[in-house]
């Protein structure tokens, strides 16, 4: 397989250039147009890679702008590489232009460099190197270009309505060595309505609570606007001081005309790893739930929250503290809250163990909340992904990874997050992020190092040969 490396080295400059060119296309989902379901820029990125693939000599197809593919080889079985060309918005605070694809210190900077455009170009050049090496293969190899991974994955629904599921394959949309299991993912709301006749019964009344941005993000801020009866403010201040000192946390009190505003500051993190952050919503509700003389209306909901959720992130107290030996403990993240004197609504993101199921999770929560008059509304349930470590696909990917990295102690992993692999059967995530590397996907100053871009191209080329020979 040394031939593959020789061809990859020959095309090193082209590989870098093509990565830069596709990164320069700001392929954030835009307004739907005829033949361009996810907008002009996403369509431009799809057309770009299809043109590059055609110039490499591959057969290509555009599936009505929803997806496309490039293909080589013959046979009854198809090996697939599944990648996406759409990106999340660039955000602010970049050191270099987010769509400039500039090279600094051996790194290509830009939105999509690691997620997922760099790996897609790497996979294309891996196919090209395999093709030109003339090594014997007996299966089809297809790289599938997705366009809607970041905002709904409707691209793969459409793809599978037109094309067969490949026999096996991988997506360069995760971590090395190889991800053989992904937890199930649920998003749901807990809601409760209150009677207005409770308003003004408490010495403190809550006009509103708002916090968080998305269910799968640990909220870094939550704000409560309160009405406090005359003479109670000193007691509220003391209770707040006692709470923040005891728990080493930050909740600021501000006086605005006739209202008191509490601002809870946490630390943001991904919802799949809430232990890396500090939940500003939970912190504030635990404080409010412990206030003296406050028992009516929205406070009844808050007290249930304090008891059943609190600062936990594994669901133990709310009846869903499942775990298994394969993927570990369930992960429970409260991401968004909107509440006032009439209603409360929190949105929750759960990652449940591979051997569990969504029904057991919901049944456990429902039973735990029995009698609390709180409604559970399910929005999404994505089943776990699991491929045995003994499966030929996992064994083949691990074999090449170990040979190319000399990391012979590496073992396949499971994660709490979800990758593009979930959209198809018999697909697992395989790179592009190496163990210990900085994770910059969805962050400012996203980059891929040129060294790793070449390295993953070599790995993918040899894996394709291993699977297709």
Catalytically annotated residues: 86, 149
Distance of CA 158 to the CA centre of its chain: 21
Q: Which runs of E-coded beta strand occur in 93-249? A: 103-104, 107-109, 140-146, 168-171, 174-175, 179-182, 184-193, 204-211, 217-218, 221-228
> What is the token pair recorded at 310?
């609190």
Residue 44: in which H helix or E strand, if any?
A: helix 40-55
The answer, yes or no, to whether the previous bond of 431 is cis (omega within 30 of 0) is no
**Which candidate, 237, 224, 11, 22, places its Cα nearest to that of 114?**
22
Say if residue 35 is exposed, middle or buried (CB neighbours under 10 Å; 0-12, 13-18, 19+). Answer: exposed
**Which candidate, 307, 309, 297, places its Cα nearest to that of 208?**
297
* Number of neighbours of residue 461 by Cβ within 10 angstroms: 29
Upper half-sphere CA count for residue 312 (Cβ side, 13 Å)? 19
| DSSP string for 146-174 | ES-TTTT-HHHHHHHHHSPPPSEEEESSE
Instruction: Report the phi/psi class of residue 101: left, alpha or beta, with left for phi > 0 and alpha for psi in -120 to 50.
Output: left
Residue 65: in which H helix or E strand, if any?
A: none
> What is the token pair recorded at 298?
């929205």
CA torsion through residues 269, 274, 278, 279, sign: positive
| The 3-state secondary structure of 247-274, one letter per residue | HCCEEEEEEECCEEEEEEECECEECCCH
Going from the C-alpha of 192 to that of each of 30, 177, 189, 306, the distances in angstroms are 35, 44, 10, 15
> What is the token pair recorded at 460?
């993918």
Total count of residues recorded for the chain:
469
């Amino acid at each position: 397989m040394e031939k593959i490396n020789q061809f990859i080295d020959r095309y090193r400059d082209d590989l870098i250039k093509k990565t830069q060119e596709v990164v320069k296309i700001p392929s954030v989902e835009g307004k739907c147009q005829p033949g361009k379901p996810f907008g002009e820029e996403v369509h431009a990125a799809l057309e770009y890679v299809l043109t590059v693939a055609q110039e490499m000599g591959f057969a290509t197809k555009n599936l009505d702008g929803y997806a496309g593919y490039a293909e080589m080889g013959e046979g009854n079985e198809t090996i697939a590489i599944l990648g996406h060309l759409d990106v999340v918005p660039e955000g602010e605070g970049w050191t270099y232009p987010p769509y400039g694809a500039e090279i600094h210190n051996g790194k290509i900077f830009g939105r999509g460099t690691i997620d997922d455009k760099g790996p897609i170009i790497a996979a294309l050049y891996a196919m090209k190197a395999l093709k030109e090496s003339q090594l014997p293969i007996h299966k089809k190899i297809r790289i599938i270009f997705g366009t809607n991974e970041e905002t709904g994955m409707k691209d793969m629904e459409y793809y599978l309505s037109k094309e067969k599921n490949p026999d096996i394959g991988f997506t360069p949309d995760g971590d090395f060595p190889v991800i053989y299991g992904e937890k199930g993912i649920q998003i749901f709301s807990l809601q409760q309505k209150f009677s207005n006749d409770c308003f003004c019964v408490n010495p403190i009344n809550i006009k509103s609570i708002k916090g968080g941005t998305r269910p799968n993000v640990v909220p870094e801020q939550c704000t409560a606007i309160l009405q406090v009866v005359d003479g109670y403010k000193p007691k509220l201040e003391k209770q707040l001081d006692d709470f923040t000192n005891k728990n080493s946390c930050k909740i600021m009190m501000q006086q605005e005309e006739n209202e008191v505003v509490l601002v809870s500051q946490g630390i943001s993190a991904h919802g799949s790893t809430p232990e890396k952050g500090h939940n500003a919503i939970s912190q504030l509700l635990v404080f409010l739930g412990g206030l003296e003389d406050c028992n009516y209306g929205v406070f009844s909901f808050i007290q249930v929250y304090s008891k059943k959720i609190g600062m936990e992130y594994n669901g133990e107290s709310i009846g869903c503290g499942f775990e298994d030996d394969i993927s570990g403990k369930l992960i429970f993240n409260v991401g968004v809250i909107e509440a006032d004197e009439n209603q409360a609504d929190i949105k929750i993101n759960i990652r449940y163990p591979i051997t569990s199921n969504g029904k057991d999770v919901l049944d456990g929560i429902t039973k735990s909340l029995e009698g609390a008059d709180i409604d559970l509304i399910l929005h999404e349930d994505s089943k776990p992904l699991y491929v045995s470590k003994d499966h030929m696909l996992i064994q083949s990917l691990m074999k090449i990874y170990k040979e190319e990295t000399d990391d012979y102690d590496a073992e396949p992993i499971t994660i709490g997050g979800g990758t593009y692999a979930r959209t198809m059967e018999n697909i697992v995530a395989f790179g592009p992020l190496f163990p210990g590397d900085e994770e910059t996907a969805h962050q400012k100053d996203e980059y891929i190092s040129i060294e790793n871009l070449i390295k993953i191209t070599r790995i993918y080329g040899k894996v394709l040969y291993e699977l297709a020979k």
